[in-house]
Structure 1
């Protein structure tokens, strides 16, 4: 495999087709979305780097997916690198990624304390640092709280614009489910959304998977989403 070509074996990350800036629970007018969109307008002038931090269900991964979708719509080469998916393959997966226009790295905190990974990400950062390139990373904490052992990498991680994103409340999750359903042409009432939150896992990814199942069942059976229908469909 040529060093100029990104390794494909470990990078089979599928982008959810409905996780866009428009469906972000914080709204398209939020500071973080406005900043990410502006990054594309400034690409040709300078390297664009954004650091998104937050705990689970903060929506930071959604913003990565949305950034990749936005890049694809603009005809730019892009990739989303999930550290949870590729960590076991080792730093070799980073080879050639500097050929991309836009690179998004999820859960970067997982490399903290791993010498080989820290050095590889540091080197990638330096190779990516040029006009026309956009790098967006997520982690659970701020750079100086990650226990990164390589001082130069910690310094690089502080270079760009940092956003601390709060975790979603139950109200946020209910609103997000209603909004996502509406974008699919599916009517999900607030009452039904709150029922799902009380009876199922509050993990947003799991809730969206349930919404997929309900959407399919509603289409097949030509039924509206009601609490009785939800109970039967999900065996609750």
Structure 2
């Protein structure tokens, strides 16, 4: 945790990743609405309430951290909290309604004694300019919290990090190879794309591991070397 001294109060950034970069988040075509909502905040919108859902490996935590690391957000008073780490009888969220941006992660893992704190924070933020972004594996109505808190969650704009589908795989692979400076031909990318799992983490790890394989085996990036790698890698 990193201590943050703001307005004579001591806060903690719970679980922050200060290296995450928004330029490294792949927005597939189906995630254009989510990107648009985040762009609104970057462009100065206030009092936005956004509830982001997605599967476990879809990058919610990375997205929140990289968004907070954006140059425009760095100029603001902001904080990231992984609420799944809060379980003591302390008022962790007191005073956060004065912040410009509050990001609460893992909303689906709230301890019972923290529910009322989040409920109170949402109510307090209604009277301020605070942008509030929540991230969860499940939609509000799938969560087992007290009804008034679920009602507050349902007032948020809802966006989902949609999984990468077949039409986005090649584009995603090109995105990753460019970010990692991997010199793979389009023909090779097409070949691997037919044999790779459809989530960003798996795509990135497969391409990185293939590059390591090429280095260790002193091979060139070809369909033959890819077939040899994938035969053992996917089994």
Query: TM-score by structure 2 length?
Result: 0.70
In the alignment, which residue of structure 2 is the partner of 1:105? 104
Helix, strand or coil at the partner of 1:13: coil
Corresponding residue number in structure 2 for 1:134: 131
Q: 1:166 to 1:78 in 2, by over 3 A?
A: same
What does residue range 1-236 of structure 1 map to in structure 2 within 5 Å?
Answer: 4-8=9-13, 11-20=14-23, 23-26=25-28, 30-43=32-45, 46-70=46-70, 72=72, 75-84=75-84, 86-87=85-86, 92-95=91-94, 97-111=96-110, 114-149=111-146, 151-169=147-165, 171-188=167-184, 189-191=188-190, 193-194=192-193, 197=196, 204-209=200-205, 211=207, 225-226=221-222, 228=225, 236=233
Say whether the 8 Å CA contact 2:17–2:65 is kept in structure 1. Answer: no
Structure number with bigger Rg = 2
SS in 2 for 1:67: helix
Calculate the aligned-residue CA RMSD, in Å: 4.0
Change over 3 Å in CA distance of 1:98–1:82 after alignment to 2: same
Partner of 1:117, secondary structure, is helix
Distance 1:14 1:210, change over 3 A: farther
Deviation sequence 1:101-151 (CA, Å, 0-9, x none): 22222221112xx431111111222333344421111223322232221x3
- Confirm or deny: 8 A CA contact 1:71 1:77 kept in the other structure: no
TM-aligned CA distance change 1:215 to 1:25, over 3 Å: farther
Tell which deviates more after alignment, 70-79 or 218-227: 218-227
Question: SS at the partner of 2:150?
Answer: helix
How many angstroms does 1:97 deviate by?
A: 4.0
Give the whole-Å Cα distance in 2 for the aligned partners of 1:100 and 1:196: 46
- Kept in 1: contact 2:51–2:134 (CA 8 A): yes
Residues 64, 104 of structure 1: 8 Å contact kept: yes
Instruction: Give the direction of change, closer, same or farther, for the CA distance of 1:195–1:76 in structure 2 (3 Å limit).
Output: same
Q: Residue 7 of structure 1: SS of its match in structure 2? A: strand
How many aligned positions are there?
A: 224
Confirm or deny: 8 A CA contact 2:51 2:153 kept in the other structure: yes
* Separation of aligned partners in 1, 2:61 and 2:115: 21
1:71/1:78 contact within 8 Å kept: no
For structure 1, the 5+ residue unaligned runs are none
